[in-house]
Structure 1
C-alpha cells in the first residue's frame, strides 16, 4: 500500500474552495459583518458489519456542502448551501447576515444586552494539516476489509464456548476547508477507524453474556488493523478464555472496595465526569438541554478540589492519533494543549472564541467544531486525558498494593446526573483482588461515587507504560444534536474505598 499520510485528497482540493470563500466573505463584508467565516466540508463515513462471519450490513455515505457564519450587529448568523458557484456562496452569506439581523431583533425584544464578541486569534495565513496515518482505509478494497473481519470472526467461532460473534469496522475521512475575514485559510484531512469484535456465550440454562475487544477507536488508518498500534493476535487469542471465565464467575458482594481501574474503563469515567464537566459553556449554563450543566462552575476556577494531588488532567487538540486532534478548529484557532486539573485543582476549561471573550480568559483553546456543513460550530470536547506519573508503578504493582479489591477492565454502561456529580459505571470484566493477586472474575459489578469523592480517593497513578489512549466516535452534544469523536488517554490508577453495587440485586429491587 502507498503511504498516504501528509496528502489531502485531490478530489477535495480540486473543488473551487477559494473561489467560493472569496465570494462569500466579500459579500458578508459588504453587508457590514464584523466577522465572517466560510467552511466547506466533505465527510465520508462507512461501516462494515458481520454476524457469525457473514456480512450483515454495510454503509458508505458522504455529507458535503459549505456554510457561512457571521457576527453582525452583535448577533450570530448562519446559513449553509450545496451549490458550488460563487453566486450561490454569496447568496448564502446574505442569508447568514439576514439571520443575524433577525436574531439581533429577537434578542433586543427579550431585553438582553449581551453581544456576541470573539476572542482575538492571530491570522495563520494559509495552512494544510493531515492527521497521522499511513494507509487510508478508503484506499483498501471492501473485499479485503470483509475478509479480515471474516477471518477474525471464524477464529473466535472455532473456540469452545463461543456461540456467536459480531464484528464491525467504522471508518471516517473528514475533509475541511476554512477561511475567515482575518486572513486564516486552512485545508485539513482527518482519518479515523474503529474495529470491534464481540464474542457471545450461551449456557444450556439460557443464560448468556459477552466480552468485547478492548482496542480503542483511533485517528489512524488501515495499518491499525494489520499490526501497527494494537496486538490483535493476542487479544483474539485471549477473548474465549475471558468469556468462559466470565460465564462461570460468582456475583460480587456489595460493599466498599479498593479499585484498580484499567485505562480501557477509566477513559469513559474521565469523559463523563471530567471531559463534559469542564466544557465552559456547560459550566456557565449555556449548554443545558442536552445532558445538563456542570457542578464545576466558573466561580470555582482555581479553587475547586477536583481530586487528589495526583490528579493532573490536560485538554489536548494535538495528541498523535487522538480522535479530537486537529491542526485548527472551526473558528481558525490553532490546536493547543493545556491544563484542566493540576495537582487535583480545577485550573482550566475547554473554550471557543465567544466563551473565551465572554469570561475574560483571553485566547480560545480551539474547541469549536461542527460535525457537518449544515451545522453551526459549537464548543466541543478536546482529547481530555489523565497524565501518568513519570516514575509510576505498573498495573501489576498497583494490584500488588491491594489486600481486598477489584480490578476493572473495559467499558460497558454508565449513568451520570445532569450536573456531572453523581455517577455509576459498569465494565467488561471484573477481577477479585485478594492479598495483592488476581483471584478470578466477578459478575454483576458496578462502581458508584460522586465525581470529587472518586477522584479524591485516587492514591496511586500508573506510569507511562500503563498509558492508553481510549475514546469514542459518538460523543453527543447540542440541539439539534451533533456527534463528535474524542479520545481520552489515561494510565491505570488505584482508588481506595469505592462503593460497589451488585447490579442484579439493584435491578431486582
Structure 2
C-alpha cells in the first residue's frame, strides 16, 4: 500500500485544517495562512535613522463549537503543527462555552474560490534600498537649506507593506490575496520667538506600488512646506472661546470622519463588545433609520472596492466579498459596519465584509473599511468649490492637515486641531494662524455643514495606523472626501 504524501503547500495545509475542523464536529471554522512584509525607512536631518525590513509568517485557526469561539495560532506551518493548533482551538472553544451566556450565530456567506492582487506598476520591494535612502536624504537636505530662516529639524519617511493571505473555511471558500501598500511623507519644524511649529506633507497611504513615491512631486513640495512652517511659527494664535466658520480641507476632514463616523458605526462597539480606546458608541441600534446624523445633503459611504483605497481588498478576513454601502444616507443613519456575528444579531441576512485581523496571530474583528464623504452633486444647492467657499466666507478659518485630537468614550463629543491654519476675511485668505482647535458634538458638527466640494476636489486621505482592541490591532483605511464648510463651531476653549 502506497502512503499518500504529507501536505506541503499552503493549499494542502489549509485543506487539512478544514478537514480536521469538520472531524471535530464544529459548526464552522476557518484558517488564514499569512505572510506580512513591512519595510520602513526614516531619515532625520542628515541621517538615516530607521531601516527595517521584517517578515512575519504563520497561520491562525478559528472554530465555532456549540456556539462558542475558539482560536489558536502558530508560526510553524507543517501537518503536525496544523493538527495540534486545530485541537487547541477546539479546546479553547470548549472552555469559552463554559462562561458564555448567548450562543454565537453567523449570517450565511457564499463560498468563493478566487485570487485577488492589488494592481501595481512597480513592486516597491524591487526598488533598491540605496535609491530610497538617497531620496529621503535629498528631501531633508533641501529642507535644511532653510535653516537660516528658522527650520531646525526635518524628517522624511517611506513605508511599504505586502500581505499574502490564504483563507479557507468550512463554507467551501479558498481565497488567495496579495495586498501592496505604499506611503511616503516628510515634514519640518521651525523655531522662532521662543516657539516651535511644524508643517508636514504626505502622499496619502494607499494600496499602490512604488509609483506612488513620486520623487518629483515630493521634492516640489519642499519649498512650500518650509515656507509654511516659517510663516506658522511667526503667526498669531487662532481665536479661542468663540464660535466661528471653518473651511476644512480633505487632509483635515478625514480624521474627523474616521473618529466621529467610522468608529461609532462599528457594530461591535455599538453592542459593547469593544470598549478599548474610547470604545462603545452613541449610535445605538434603536437610532437606526431615525437619527439625523448629518445635514440632509451629507452622505457617507463605506467601500472596500475603491481603487487604491488603503482598506481595499477582494474579501474580508471571513471570506465575505468586498462591497460598498451607505452608513449615512441623506443625513440619516442607515447602516453599520458588520462582521458575520454582529450582522446576525442585527437581523441582517449577510455581513457587509468589515472583518479584519492585522496578523496571522490575531482574531478578526470589525474594522472600518474605506469610508468616505460623497462629493456634492453637480449643480447642487450646497455644492461649492473650495475657491467658492472661501469667496463666500466673511470671516472664517481654513484648515489643512491633522493635529491633536480627542473624543469621548461614546464618540459624541470631540476636539480636533490641524497642521496649518489660515484666516479668511471678506472672501480672501489673508494670513496664517497657529494653535487652532475646534470642538463639537458629533451630530451637531455634521448637521452644521452648509457647503460640500464637488467630485473634482475629491482626495483619498486616510491612515495606516488605526488602533483598536486589547491586545491592540492595527488597521488602515482611506477616507476619501472633499472640502466642506461648517458654520457656528466652537473654537479653542469654552466661551
What is the SS of the residue equivalent to 1:276? helix
Q: Distance in 2 between matches of 1:243 and 1:403?
A: 26
**Which of the numbers 233, 236, 250 marks the counterpart of 2:236?**
250
Q: Distance in 1 between matches of 2:297 and 2:415?
A: 22
Query: Does residue 306 of structure 2 align to residue 315 of structure 1?
Result: no
**Which of the numbers 100, 104, 125 marks the counterpart of 2:97?**
104
Q: Distance in 1 between matches of 2:392 and 2:202?
A: 25
Query: Does residue 312 of structure 2 align to residue 325 of structure 1?
Result: yes
Tell me if structure 2 keeps the 8 A contact 1:20–1:85. Answer: yes
Structure 1 residue 133: Cα displacement: 2.0
Tell me if structure 2 keeps the 8 A contact 1:214–1:410. Answer: no
Partner of 2:354: 367
Partner of 1:84: 77
Partner of 1:176: 165
**Which of the numbers 467, 471, 479 marks the counterpart of 1:476?**
467
Deviations 1:56-96 (A, max 9, x none): 12112111100111111111011111222122212211111
Give unpaired runs (5+ residues) of structure 2: 1-6
Query: Does residue 108 of structure 2 align to residue 120 of structure 1?
Result: yes
Partner of 1:16: 9
User: Structure 1's 149 and 359: CA in aligned 2 closer, same or farther, altered over 3 A?
Assistant: same
Q: Distance in 2 between matches of 1:294 and 1:251?
A: 34
Tell me if structure 1 keeps the 8 A contact 2:259–2:407. Answer: yes
Q: Distance in 2 between matches of 1:240 and 1:81?
A: 48
Partner of 2:3: none
Deviations 1:337-395 (A, max 9, x none): 00000011000100000111111112101011111111111111111110001223221
Aligned ranges 1:333-412 → 2 under 5 Å? 333-391=320-378, 392-412=383-403
- The answer to which of 52-61 and 423-432 deviates more is 52-61
Partner of 1:73: 66
Q: Distance in 2 between matches of 1:268 and 1:105?
A: 41
Q: Distance in 2 between matches of 1:370 and 1:196?
A: 26
Partner of 1:413: 404
What is the SS of the residue equivalent to 1:192? strand
Query: Does residue 173 of structure 2 align to residue 187 of structure 1?
Result: no
Q: Distance in 1 between matches of 2:194 and 2:247?
A: 32
TM-score (norm 1): 0.92
Tell me if structure 1 keeps the 8 A contact 2:183–2:213. Answer: no
Tell me if structure 1 keeps the 8 A contact 2:203–2:212. Answer: no
Query: Does residue 88 of structure 2 align to residue 95 of structure 1?
Result: yes
Deviations 1:241-264 (A, max 9, x none): 211211221112221111110000
Aligned ranges 1:191-206 → 2 under 5 Å? 191-203=180-192, 205-206=193-194
Q: Distance in 1 between matches of 2:202 and 2:292?
A: 32
Deviations 1:264-309 (A, max 9, x none): 0000000000000110111111111332211100110001010101
Structure 1 residue 238: Cα displacement: 1.1
Structure 1 residue 15: Cα displacement: 7.0
Partner of 2:457: 466
Partner of 2:286: 299
**Which of the numbers 464, 472, 496 marks the counterpart of 2:487?**
496
**Which of the numbers 422, 427, 430 marks the counterpart of 1:431?**
422
Tell me if structure 2 keeps the 8 A contact 1:69–1:96. Answer: yes
Partner of 1:60: 53
Q: Distance in 2 between matches of 1:484 and 1:135?
A: 23
Partner of 1:153: 140
Deviations 1:125-178 (A, max 9, x none): x21101132112111111110011111111111134322211111111111110
Q: Distance in 1 between matches of 2:218 and 2:158?
A: 14
Partner of 2:440: 449
Give the CA RMSD over aligned residues: 1.6
TM-score (norm 2): 0.95
User: Structure 1's 15 and 414: CA in aligned 2 closer, same or farther, altered over 3 A?
Assistant: farther
**Which of the numbers 212, 227, 237 marks the counterpart of 1:224?**
212
- The answer to which of 253-262 and 297-306 deviates more is 253-262
Tell me if structure 2 keeps the 8 A contact 1:310–1:460. Answer: no
Q: Distance in 1 between matches of 2:123 and 2:222?
A: 24
Structure 1 residue 214: Cα displacement: 4.0
What is the SS of the residue equivalent to 1:455? helix
- The answer to which of 218-227 and 423-432 deviates more is 218-227
Partner of 1:6: none
Figure out how many residues of one structure are paired with residues of the other and give that number.
Answer: 482
